[in-house]
A and B are shown apart, each in its own frame.
Chain A
Amino acid sequence: MAEKYDLQEREVWDGNFAASQALRQAQVDVVAAYPITPSTPIVENYGSYVANGYIDGEFVMVESEHAAMSGCVGASAAGGRVATATSSQGFALMTEVLYQASGMRLPIVLAVVNRSLASPLNVRGDHSDMYLGRDSGWIQLDCFNAQEAYDLTLCTFKIGENHDVRLPVMVHQDGFITSHTAQNVYPLRDEVAYGFVGEFKPVDDMLDFSRPVTYGAQTEEDWHFEHKARQHKALMDSRSIIDDVFVQFKEISGREYKRVESYMMEDAEVAIVALGTTVETCIIAARELRKEEGVKAGVVAPRCFRPFPFDKIRDALGNVKAIACLDRSSPGGAMGALFNEVSAAIYTTDARPLVTNFIYGLGGRDFSIAEAKRIFKEQKAHVDAGKITTDIQQFSGLRGPHLGFFQTKRS
């Protein structure tokens, strides 16, 4: 067993340090990684834990993020517990191998510290990289602060490595706002954390010489479809296991997570749907707005971005009259992804709330409580008018003339 790491009941950690401590407590066997702002400290810290004897693991230095994820694929197929971290351009370079990992059903954990994608070059946080991964077949969990970065990184191993899941998992936190902001974090004791995550139980591991297997087979039109369908089924079915893991995590930590988080939604008339640190901004805005102006505002946040919680989103938003979906990624000629997916989910119910889309916060542009309040009030104005009174897609926090697209055709 490795050296004992001294932990206090309450630590002051930033999101990166919190995630790296979760990797240490999960006793990750192999980290193959390439540094990139703002995720570097996660793997850098893992390297120091290995060097200082806190983990019996291996840090593999590679020449790119493509190689980093390839190394993770190899180590995971060999039969080890594997993790790495990246951001932005590094994530983009990894993308090809992300699909390999999920297709081969390898439960790799990838800590993604969300950062915008060039060009123009930018190191600040937005959700471009997280959105780039949304069709890659990975489970994607989203953290809103450092405590959650720690908690959910521990949960990812237990979810992905479950033999009924066997899928890679990304755990997202916002670049700088979460990754570099020191906050109070309450860690679990090492033995409690490891007891929760459990021993790694390999499946089809290549180091089992009694049972040689082929990874990465070629399947053309006669087989590929069936394999992808089975993979999609596994991803959809992981929903109940994610729920179970969250229940088990609450038992050891007292902290409760759900695939869709709802705040002040019991009586909410208007809601914001958002991801990342913006969720906390919106919670404060809703709380103040309720006190100041009596607007019944609430916040809904997909904790689990993939598999998309189609079921839970419907439950959470079934009774509101207007919804603003906030997308922190340049939508590239469409409505934002959150708008599209939330709208589609609600459309399968009897409810017909007024749904609008805001593109905001690109390249780390600040999203203020005041702006969140303004958006809530705009939703209230839609409700009072009985229809969407603005463009359906708007830009929030953008300099220059108003930018917006499409108007409602509902009367």
Chain B
Amino acid sequence: MQHLKLLANDNRGLNELENGTSLMGWHEVTQGSILLSFEGDATHIAHLKSEERTYSGYNSYTATVASWRVLKPVYNRDICIDCQNCWVWCPDSSILSRDKQMLGIDYDHCKGCSVCVEVCPTNPKSLIMFSEQTLLEDALTQWPEKKKKEDK
């Protein structure tokens, strides 16, 4: 079972979008609503893994959209074949993978669209949507059996 804050930096998913914590006055907001992505020199930041990057408070990395979800994908390591289909298709970069090995879900940024489940090719699927309140360990005990081919 994956950790909810898998591969997360200290500031991942810190802020709810709906109620920013530090509401600045007009004189303090950035010019042109232009937002700095990283703290410090970011010249080689593309070579760093996300948990090694210095995301600024303006970066969406520090915001969470977890509350938007009704259903969440749950990942089952025992069935996954590391095909990376879900990683390719996820529209929010919320599939966490290292060295082409699938690790789990970024639950701070996943909006529960279930595209990853749709594109998962295994039988049974290695990603299945469960209600948001279902605990990960409970979900894993409810995994379906392999489907047999139906007779024609």
A interface residues with partner B (beta carbon < 8 Å)? 103-106, 166, 203-204, 209-217, 219, 222-223, 225-227, 229-231, 233-234
B31 to A166, Cβ gap below 8 A? yes
Question: Is B41 positioned at the interface, with any CB of A under 8 Å from its CB?
Answer: yes
Given contacts A210-B43, A212-B42, A222-B23, A230 and B36 within 8 Å (CB-CB): no
Cβ contacts A to B, 21 pairs, < 8 Å? A103-B32, A103-B33, A104-B34, A106-B32, A204-B32, A212-B36, A212-B45, A213-B35, A214-B34, A214-B58, A215-B32, A217-B34, A217-B35, A219-B33, A222-B19, A222-B23, A223-B33, A227-B26, A227-B29, A227-B33, A230-B31
Would you call the interface of chain A mostly helix, strand, loop, or mixed? Answer: loop
Contact between chains at A213 and B33 (CB < 8 Å): no
**B24 contacts partner chain A, Cβ-Cβ < 8 Å:** yes
A230, B32: Cα distance in complex, Å:
9
Q: Is B143 an interface residue (CB 8 A)?
A: no
Chain A residues in 8 Å Cβ range of B38: 211-212
Q: Which residues of B contact A233 (CB under 8 A)?
A: 26
B37 CB–A CB distance under 8 Å: yes
Are A226 and B32 in touch, CB under 8 angstroms? no
CB pair A226 B37 closer than 8 Å:
no
CA distance A231 to B33 in the complex (A): 10
Distance in angstroms between the alpha carbons of A127 and B29 in the assembled complex: 35
By Cβ-Cβ distance, the 9 closest A-B pairs, closest first, are: A105-B32, A229-B26, A226-B26, A214-B35, A212-B37, A210-B43, A104-B32, A204-B34, A227-B33
By a CB distance below 8 angstroms, the chain B residues around A210 are: 41-43
Shortest B39–chain A CB gap in Å is 10
B20 — which chain A residues lie within 8 A by C-beta? 222-223
How many A-B residue pairs lie within 8 Å, measured between CB atoms?
66
Chain B residues with CB below 8 A from A215, complex form: 32, 34
Nearest-neighbour CB distance to chain B for A246, whole angstroms, equals 24
Using CB atoms, name the residue of chain B closest to A224.
B33
When distances are taken between beta carbons in the complex, the residues of chain B under 8 Å from A166 are: 31-32
Cα–Cα distance between A226 and B38 once the two chains are bound (Å): 23
Asked if B34 and A105 make an inter-chain contact with CB atoms under 8 angstroms apart, the answer reads yes
User: Chain B's nearest CB lies how many Å from the CB of A231?
Assistant: 8
**B41 in contact with A105 (CB, 8 Å):** no
* Contacting residues, chain B, for A106 (C-beta < 8 A): 32
Alpha-carbon distance between A229 and B31 when the two chains are bound, in angstroms: 11
Please tell me if B98 contacts chain A, counting CB pairs below 8 Å.
no
| Chain B stretch 30-69: residues in CB contact (< 8 A) with chain A | 31-38, 41-43, 45, 58
Query: A213 touching B34 by the CB < 8 A rule?
Result: yes
Chain A residue contacts of B42, Cβ below 8 A: 209-212
CA A231 – CA B45 in complex, angstroms? Answer: 32
Most A Cβ at <10 Å: residue of B20, B26, B45 = B26
Residues of chain A within 8 A (CB-CB) of B144 are: none
Within 8 A of A (CB), among B1-30: 19-20, 23-27, 29
**Chain A residues, Cβ within 8 Å of B33:** 103-104, 216-217, 219, 223, 227
Query: In the complex, which residue of chain A has the Cβ closest to the Cβ of B17?
Result: A220
A213 touching B37, Cβ below 8 Å = yes
Contact call A230/B27, Cβ cutoff below 8 A: yes
A214 touches B37 (CB 8 A): yes
CB distance from A77 to the nearest CB of B (A): 8
A225 CB to nearest B CB, Å: 8
**Which residue of chain B lies nearest to A105 when distances are taken between CB atoms in the complex?**
B32
Contacts of A231 in B (CB 8 A): 32
Q: Looking across the interface, which residue of chain B has its beta carbon closest to that of A219?
A: B33
Which A residues lie within 8 Å of B25 (CB)? 226
Q: Tell me the nearest residue of chain A to B38, going by C-beta.
A: A212
Nearest chain A residue, comparing its CB with the CB of B43: A210
B58 partner residues in chain A, CB cutoff 8 A: 214
Give the residue name and chain of the B residue nearest to A212 (CB). B37
CB of B34 within 8 A of CB of A230, answer no
Question: How far does the Cβ of B21 sit from chain A's closest Cβ, in whole Å?
Answer: 11
Whole-angstrom CA separation of A215 from B45 in the bound complex = 19
Point out the residues of chain B lying under 8 angstroms from A217, CB to CB: 33-35
- B26:A230 contact, CB within 8 angstroms: yes
A230 touches B35 (CB 8 A): no
Question: What CA separation (Å) do A106 and B34 show in the bound complex?
Answer: 11
Bound state CA distance, A215 and B58, in angstroms?
Answer: 12
Additional pairs, 19, CB under 8 Å, beyond known A214-B37, A216-B33: A103-B32, A103-B33, A166-B32, A203-B31, A204-B34, A211-B38, A212-B37, A212-B42, A214-B34, A215-B34, A217-B33, A222-B19, A222-B23, A223-B33, A225-B26, A227-B29, A229-B26, A230-B27, A234-B31
Name the B residues within 8 Å of A203 (CB-CB).
Answer: 31
On chain B, the residues within 8 Å of A214 by CB distance are 34-35, 37, 58
Q: How far in angstroms is the closest Cβ of chain B from A169? A: 15
Query: A213 → chain B, closest Cβ, in Å?
Result: 5
- Answer whether A223 and B29 are a contact pair too, CB < 8 Å, given A209-B42, A214-B58: yes
Assembled-state Cα–Cα distance A225/B33 (Å) = 11
Contact across chains for A226 and B24 when beta carbons are under 8 A apart: yes
Chain A residues, Cβ within 8 Å of B19:
222
| Interface-centre pick from B23, B27, B35 (highest chain A CB count, 10 A) | B35
A213 touches B29 (CB 8 A): no
Name the CB-closest residue of A to B27: A230
